[in-house]
Amino acid sequence: MSSKTQITAQELYERLKNIKVGGQVCQYSLKKCEEFLPVINEILRLKQEMNAVILVHSYVGPEIVYSVADSIGDSYKLSREAVQSTAKIIIFVAVRFMGETAKILNPGKTVIVPAREPGCTLADSITGAQVRELRRQYPGYTFICYVNTSVDVKAECDVCVTSANVYTIVERLPGDKIYFLPDKFMGQNLVNEMKKRGVKKDIKFWNGTCYVHEEYGAEQIFKIRTEYPDVKIVSHPECNAEVVRNSDFVGGTEQMLDYMRKADAKRFLMLTECGLSSRLQSEFPDKELVGSCTLCKYMKSNTLEDIRQALQSPKPGQVVEIAEPVRLRALKSLEAMFKYAEPCAPPQVCE
Three-state SS across the chain? CCCCCCCCHHHHHHHHCCCCCCCCCCCCCHHHHHHHHHHHHHHHHHHHHHCEEEEEECCCCHHHHCCCCCEEECHHHHHHHHHHCCCCEEEEECCHHHHHHHHHHCCCCEEECCCCCCCCCCHHHCCHHHHHHHHHHCCCCEEEEECCCCHHHHHHCCEEECCCCHHHHHHHCCCCEEEEECEHHHHHHHHHHHHHCCCCCEEEECCECCCCHHHCCHHHHHHHHHHCCCCEEEECCCCCHHHHHCCCEECCHHHHHHHHHHCCCCEEEEECEHHHHHHHHHHCCCCEECCCCECCCCHHHCCHHHHHHHHHCCCHHHECCCCHHHHHHHHHHHHHHHHHHCCCCCCCCCC
149 binds ligand 13P (CB under 6 A): no
Shortest distance, CB of residue 298 to ligand SF4, whole angstroms? 5
Q: Residues 112, 166, 191, 299: which binds ligand SF4 (CB under 6 A)?
A: 299
Shortest distance, CB of residue 255 to ligand 13P, whole angstroms? 8
- 171-to-35, 80, 263, 330, 350 alpha-carbon distances in Å: 50, 22, 27, 22, 17
Q: Residues 67, 106, 149, 162: which binds ligand 13P (CB under 6 A)?
A: 162
70 binds ligand 13P (CB under 6 A): no
Site for ligand SF4 in 214-243 (CB under 6 A): 238
Contact partner at residue 152 from ligand 13P, ligand SF4, none, CB < 5 to 8 Å by partner kind: none
210 binds ligand SF4 (CB under 6 A): yes
Shortest distance, CB of residue 238 to ligand 13P, whole angstroms? 5
211 binds ligand SF4 (CB under 6 A): yes
- 195-to-122, 188, 226 alpha-carbon distances in Å: 25, 11, 30
Shortest distance, CB of residue 99 to ligand SF4, whole angstroms? 12
- How many CB atoms neighbour CB 59 within 10 A? 25
Q: Can you tell me the distance from the alpha carbon of 142 to that of 107, in angstroms, rounded to the nearest whole number?
A: 26
252 binds ligand 13P (CB under 6 A): yes
Contact partner at residue 193 from ligand 13P, ligand SF4, none, CB < 5 to 8 Å by partner kind: none
Q: Residues 90, 159, 296, 326: which binds ligand SF4 (CB under 6 A)?
A: 296
Contact partner at residue 298 from ligand 13P, ligand SF4, none, CB < 5 to 8 Å by partner kind: ligand SF4
Size of the site for ligand 13P (CB under 6 A): 10
189 binds ligand SF4 (CB under 6 A): no
Shortest distance, CB of residue 95 to ligand 13P, whole angstroms? 7
298 binds ligand SF4 (CB under 6 A): yes
Between 121 and 142, name the residue whose CB sits nearer to ligand 13P. 121
Q: Can you tell me the distance from the alpha carbon of 101 to that of 94, in angstroms, rounded to the nearest whole number?
A: 11
Piece of the chain touching ligand SF4 by CB under 6 A; list 39-47, 149-157, 193-201, 292-300: 292-300
Between 211 and 228, name the residue whose CB sits nearer to ligand 13P. 211
- At position 72, the amino acid (one-letter code) is I
Shortest distance, CB of residue 233 to ligand SF4, whole angstroms? 18
Shortest distance, CB of residue 248 to ligand 13P, whole angstroms? 17
Given a contact cutoff of 8 angstroms between Cβ atoms, the answer to whether 39 and 304 are in contact is yes
240 binds ligand 13P (CB under 6 A): no
Here's the x/- map for ligand SF4, 117-146, by CB under 6 A: it reads as ---xxx------------------------
148 binds ligand SF4 (CB under 6 A): yes
- At position 7, the amino acid (one-letter code) is I
Residues of the shown chain interacting with ligand 13P in the complex, contacts defined by CB under 6 A: 74-76, 148, 162-163, 210, 238, 252-253
Q: Which residues bind ligand SF4 (CB under 6 A)?
A: 95, 120-122, 148, 210-212, 238, 273, 296, 298-299
